[in-house]
Amino acid sequence: MANETWGIWEWLDIGWQPRSDVNKVTEEAVRRVQDQSKKGQQVHQQIQQDKANNTTIAQFLTFLLKTIQNDKIISLLYDVFFKTKNPGTWVTHLRKKINVLVITGLFYPFYPQEAEKLGVAPLFKPLVKHSGALNFTVYLAYIKELATKYHDNVALDQELLLKLLSEIIKYFEVHGKKLTDEEHAATIAQIKKELF
């Protein structure tokens, strides 16, 4: 019986003597801890940066909601960015996450000073490739850049997006004047050709 018990202790590697390497820390373990610490610091910095970006975007969105007095635009924003349809069942669902960068970006060219003041300009300023006055061509080129940079891989309803963009263009008089019905139809055709 005594021999059997001794065999169990040997098998468990529990002896009367402490292991000789207990207090030794290998260079690999130190390096691993340092790497984890660096990664933790990077994640912390990214969280702080995201928090700051979210705060400035929220302030700009608040400004936009107070400033834009057009129910069609607000309604279309909701339909385009807050809803999604299941292509198999055609059931409409509310999205769990919205693309606030694209929503705010749609309006940046119309309020660059306010965007600068609120701190969101660095997100969108590099996307504006023309330094002159805003016009239809410049705005469409900007929208292409915005979609490329901040697209979240969620399919948007193209017809609703087309209506939204045409309402934005009409509301802000991107052409520099109010459009006739024929000119507005030509604008919609141009948007469709350029973006879809």
- Which single residue is written with the structure tokens 């019986």? 1
Residue 94 pairs in a beta bridge with 83
Q: What is the pLDDT along the chain (196 residues), one digit of tens a residue?
A: 555 555 555 555 555 555 555 556 677 777 887 788 788 787 777 777 767 777 888 888 889 888 988 899 999 998 888 887 777 787 777 777 888 888 999 999 999 899 999 888 888 888 887 777 788 888 888 888 988 888 877 778 888 889 999 999 989 888 777 877 888 788 888 888 887 7
163 Cβ neighbours under 8 A, 6+ residues apart: 76
Residue 84 pairs in a beta bridge with 93
Contact between 124 and 33 (Cβ < 8 Å): no
pLDDT of residue 19: 56
Residue 59 lies in a domain: yes
pLDDT of residue 73: 92
pLDDT of residue 117: 92
Residue 94 lies in a domain: yes
Residue 19 lies in a domain: no
Strand-strand pairing, 92-94 and 83-85: antiparallel
Nearest to 114 by CA among 166, 164, 56, 52: 56
What 8-state DSSP symbol labels residue 23? T
Total domains in the fold of the chain:
1
The string of DSSP codes covering 147-190 is HHHH--S----HHHHHHHHHHHHHHTTTTSSPPPHHHHHHHHHH
pLDDT of residue 12: 55
Residue 190 lies in a domain: yes
Residue 141 lies in a domain: yes
pLDDT of residue 138: 87
Q: Cα–Cα distance between 107 and 133 in angstroms, integer?
A: 15
Residue 92 lies in a domain: yes
Q: How far, CA to CA in Å, does 81 sit from each of 85, 91, 182? A: 11, 16, 28
Q: Which domain holds residue 85?
A: 38-195
- Which single residue is written with the structure tokens 């410049």? 138
For the whole model, what pTM was predicted? 0.70
Side chain identity at 173, as an amino acid letter? E
